[in-house]
A = this chain, B = another copy of it.
């Protein structure tokens, strides 16, 4: 669902891959009019896996269509000066709810200074790999952060990469936030802003905000490689009698009490405390004694099926989670179930079909909201945007089409394949 917070604030997005498109999606799902500009035929992310099956391999990308829900699509030949001038005109078109550019394409013809000559109060947000303009992607940033060396029992010789592109995600939401912060200031002061967000800075700053940099600098200690144990308190996964696994967590004193009660290990914990002299009501001591605590819990899980264990943990309000595949999550997790969770709905994406899709993560009870619209076929809104935003006549738009500078909606590859 889309919430009408942003009053159709117009954002021109010229982007690829995850960070900038996810920032645009976030703005769109909160009520912005996000117009994504793509090269005619699609940019470098248009065929990203996974793709729908297609006899000639031209099925639509489920990655691209997922990240570009709720946006309008304009297709332009970005290699030609006339195409670039059109985009510059879209970005700098007048109006208090226009003049916002979101991009991760560091090209001179989208430079803030150039565009600000036409619209001084422009808000531009450029996502970069590194702050010096050099290339970096999530996977080359992640390896420098130290996390792969302490994930899954990893080490310097056997680092473990993450699969979720967490830095792209963090960068995306920060970009969406920064755009709103700059628009808020512009409403008040009339001033624009040139915003730059480097993917690697996203990681560096996060390591500061989580205390990791200070830990290394002041205490001289790196995080230990502790497998599935949680750092700093107690948490780990356990196998149940039917070969499934559950994660349990006891960070707060309350969570610890619930877990001890649920698993009936109060006496064992007492004995462990007496033996070790550790006060396990202190989270740091639980971390110290994590192997011994895990040893107390293993038999309890091993004696129960996953279902039994879950029921008993719930009865004591312990904090736990179930390891599952995505398919199991979609069908078996009551929190995810689309009928009861208002953040989901079913949409029909051209060239893809009907499927579940998420709107804004936020829930705003009582506020009106609109359905999530699917990712458009490339160029679906080319004519409409040129008319609405630039006031172009149908004759002028027709001449751009004739010259191959813009393109209308691409053919739905499913329909094209069926017709062939």
Contact = CB atoms under 8 A, between A and B. Distances in A.
B323 A144 contact: yes
A249 B137 contact: yes
> Copy number of this protein in the oligomer?
2
A163 B143 contact: no
Contact of A25 (B62, B209, B249): B209
Interface in A360-381: 360-367
Contact of A363 (B162, B197, B221): B197
Contacts of A213: 66, 326, 330, 355-358
Nearest to A148: B323
B204 A157 contact: no
A222 interface: yes
Given A139-B249, A161-B228, A201-B361, 9 more contacts: A44-B253, A139-B235, A140-B247, A143-B246, A146-B326, A156-B244, A169-B206, A173-B174, A208-B344
Contacts of A253: 44
Contacts of A177: 26, 30, 173, 176-177, 180
A286 B5 CA distance: 42
B228 A159 contact: yes
A157 B154 CA distance: 18
Given A152-B154, A214-B352, A237 B47 contact: no
Contacts of A165: 210
Contacts of A157: 239, 243, 245
